[in-house]
Amino acid sequence: MKYPFDAFREDVIKKLSSLGYDNLRIEEPKEEIADLALPCFQLSRTLKMPPDKIAEEVASKLEAGGWIEKIEATRGYVNFFIDKNRLADETIKLILSLKDSYGKLDDKNKKVIVEHTSANPNGPLHVGRARNPIIGDTMARILKFGGYDVITQYYVDDMGRQVATLFWGVKNLDIEVEESKADHRYVVFYQEASKLMEKDERVREEINNIIKRCEEGDRELLQEIKKIYKPVLEGIMESLNRLHIYMDEFVEESRFVLDGSVYEIIEKLASLPYAGEEGKAIYLDLEEFGIHGRNKKFFLTRSNGTSLYAARDIAYHIWKGNRADIMINILGEDHKLEAEQVRIALKLLNEKIPDVIFYSFVSLPEGRMSTRKGRVVYLDELIDEAISRAREELVKRGREENEKIYTEIGIDAIRYNIIKVNPDKAITFRWEDALSMEGESAPFIQYAHARCSSILRKADFHPLNHYDFTHQSEIKLIRTLAKFPDYITRSINSRNPAIIADYAYRVASDFNIFYRDCKVIGDDKEKERLALVMATKQVLKNVLSLLGMEALEEM
């Protein structure tokens, strides 16, 4: 699919090429300035001419044409302007004909596995971890839209200390818990068992023994453990489903022990010159790969011969890499070192390397979230609170108390408020931010969509052969609608879903300005404007679906 701005960019490149200027960096300035621009400062040295002279000369040699309406030289830049009439006409037609597919990019014929969440199934998700599934799910949606074949995966750590502790707790402790949701009920056993383990040597040994048996590949025990963690995992997924997050596949860590692949990989790594042994434990010395200090030793096995988590992670990535062209992992920043170690190991084995989106933590004003210290806000609490807050807002506005609507508004507010911040930025959780429903927020965007729907309900839309727009608020809106595919590309290339959240806001904001300036129903330009409203509604719907949010007809 070639979109108007793509065609325009090609025309600009072609023009410059006709003068012998190839491979120059063309930039996209602020839209009030121009649509594309060529800065001439670097050419200044080779051509031995002042930049403004170069710009003037280039501009004078080029003629408008094709998608280019006008070429101007300004202060050392050659500015290119797109043919606005054609842009408006073609963009509107394109949106109205492509509908839900508008903005999609060509099929890449590449398979992507997005691994996200992968939380230990020992209790409910708290909001400190909620960033992970929201980033992962949104990125997966964007990649699909961008033409990739995407599968989402949850890597289930079914043989680590946390699950073993949970298992021990459930088997040995007798605790009455009223909670009906399994993740919330079982976490109490986990917490109790953790406490006991700290002060009771025997408990610790029993748990260690469970871990050891798992690592040795005790299928029966693993099955028993699965019976315990499964309901917890289902509880986690139930919470995620509330946020419109679904998972395609669950991959159990134990499979890489059971099928022996971890040990094959360890053997291969152990034969490398970087390998070493301490007792019987095998490690790689990563000094040469830029990892210094006391953590340069990357251990793959324990001295009892069993594999370590990171070794299994390597096996998992090799397995994944055989099933995908691109791997994208969503990980908390605390996993940076481990991810780097795994990356080096994969490289040494000549295997595919994953891209990782790291996110910073969500903490509370009092400090980092901790289930143990009771300093947590669970995702379910946040969701419940958001929904009840959305209901209040509806009541406040004298609207109908429709459960489907306020549930949707509450949920989407959470998703939006989390996704709009770049992943590498730490977030301090504050209820008023997490539940924000005005300004840069989900309801702002949904409201624009509901407004479009409301207008369209009141009038009959008939398509035209040609669309003509003149008001600057119309043009600004259309330009924003036309840039949708560019934002998809940017978001995918930079692996940053926050870019799409920002785009959604811009569309809604530009629509509000258009709405203020341009009367639709009853105006001379009603037919054109109805088409523009229709197109805006479509783009809002498409972008909302990328964010996992619902396009509401009313709210």
Partner RNA sequence: GGGCCUGUAGCCUAGCGGAGAAGGCGGCAGCCUUCGGAGCUGCAGAUCGAGGGUUCGAAUCCCUCCAGGCCCGCCA
Among 197, 152, 191, 189, smallest CA distance to 172 is for 189
Near RNA by CB under 7 A, which window of 87-95, 176-184, 464-472, 520-528?
Answer: 520-528
| Options 238, 512, 527, 545; binder of RNA; rule CB under 7 A | 512
What token pair was written down for 181?
């949701």
Near RNA by CB under 7 A, which window of 101-109, 237-245, 394-402, 539-547?
Answer: 394-402
Residue closer to RNA (CB basis): 141 or 449: 449
- Strands 355-359, 362-363: pairing is unpaired
Near RNA by CB under 7 A, which window of 4-12, 92-100, 360-368, 372-380?
Answer: 360-368
Is residue 246 a contact point for RNA (CB under 7 A)? no
Q: Are 67 and 7 in contact, with CB atoms under 8 Å apart? A: yes
Show contacts with RNA in window 270-289 (CB under 7 A): 278-281
- Strands 149-156, 249-252: pairing is parallel
What token pair was written down for 439?
């300004």
Q: How far is the CB of 233 from RNA (least distance, A)?
A: 14
Q: How far is the CB of 199 from RNA (least distance, A)?
A: 16
| Options 303, 470, 472, 493; binder of RNA; rule CB under 7 A | 303
| Options 224, 248, 333, 366; binder of RNA; rule CB under 7 A | 333
Residue closer to RNA (CB basis): 422 or 545: 422
Residue closer to RNA (CB basis): 187 or 498: 498
Owner of token pair 């830029």: 290
What token pair was written down for 256?
């890489």
Kindly report the number of other CB atoms within 10 A of residue 434's CB atom.
20
| Options 265, 266, 308, 539; binder of RNA; rule CB under 7 A | 308
Is residue 165 a contact point for RNA (CB under 7 A)? no
| Options 195, 336, 372, 471; binder of RNA; rule CB under 7 A | 336
Owner of token pair 């036309």: 482
| Options 202, 292, 404, 462; binder of RNA; rule CB under 7 A | 292
Among 9, 16, 117, smallest CA distance to 59 is for 16
Q: How far is the CB of 147 from RNA (least distance, A)?
A: 22
Q: How far is the CB of 111 from RNA (least distance, A)?
A: 26
Near RNA by CB under 7 A, which window of 11-19, 83-91, 142-150, 510-518?
Answer: 510-518
| Options 382, 383, 409, 507; binder of RNA; rule CB under 7 A | 409
Near RNA by CB under 7 A, which window of 86-94, 140-148, 197-205, 389-397?
Answer: 389-397
Residue closer to RNA (CB basis): 20 or 522: 522
Q: Are 331 and 356 in contact, with CB atoms under 8 Å apart? A: yes
Polymer length in residues for the chain = 555
What token pair was written down for 89?
């006409």
Is residue 162 a contact point for RNA (CB under 7 A)? yes
Q: Integer distance in angstroms from the first to the last C-alpha of the chain?
A: 34
| Options 79, 117, 191, 536; binder of RNA; rule CB under 7 A | 79
Is residue 261 a contact point for RNA (CB under 7 A)? no
Is residue 152 a contact point for RNA (CB under 7 A)? no
Is residue 48 a contact point for RNA (CB under 7 A)? no
* SS3 at position 132: helix
Residue closer to RNA (CB basis): 148 or 515: 515
| Options 399, 466, 470, 493; binder of RNA; rule CB under 7 A | 399
Residues with Cβ within 8 Å of 230's Cβ and at least 6 positions away in sequence, in order, are 121
Q: Are 375 and 356 in contact, with CB atoms under 8 Å apart? A: no
Among 51, 48, 23, smallest CA distance to 39 is for 51
Q: How far is the CB of 256 from RNA (least distance, A)?
A: 12
Helix (H) or strand (E) holding 492: helix 484-493
Show contacts with RNA in window 187-226 (CB under 7 A): 211
Q: Are 251 and 155 in contact, with CB atoms under 8 Å apart? A: yes
Angle at 385 between CA 498 and CA 437, to 5 degrees: 45
Residue closer to RNA (CB basis): 404 or 516: 516
Query: What one-letter code names the amino acid at 300?
Result: L
Helices marked H in 146-245 — which ranges?
A: 161-172, 182-199, 201-215, 219-242
Show contacts with RNA in window 420-479 (CB under 7 A): 420-422, 424-428, 433, 436-441, 443-444, 447, 450-451, 453-455, 458
DSSP label at 107? -
Q: How far is the CB of 156 from RNA (least distance, A)?
A: 10
Residue closer to RNA (CB basis): 195 or 368: 368
Residue closer to RNA (CB basis): 90 or 449: 449
* SS3 at position 264: helix
Exposed e or buried b for every residue in 496-532, given b needs 16+ CB within 10 A? bbbbbbbbbbbbbbbbbebbeebebeeeebebbbbbb
Q: Are 499 and 139 in contact, with CB atoms under 8 Å apart? A: no
C-alpha 333: how far from its chain's center? 15
C-alpha 306: how far from its chain's center? 35
Is residue 64 a contact point for RNA (CB under 7 A)? no
| Options 52, 275, 513, 527; binder of RNA; rule CB under 7 A | 513
Backbone angles phi, psi at 36, to 5 degrees: -145, 155
Helix (H) or strand (E) holding 315: helix 309-321
Tell me the site size for RNA, rule CB under 7 A: 101
| Options 21, 274, 299, 461; binder of RNA; rule CB under 7 A | 299
Compose the 365-384 pattern: x for residues touching RNA by CB under 7 A, - for all others. ---x----------------
Is residue 493 a contact point for RNA (CB under 7 A)? no
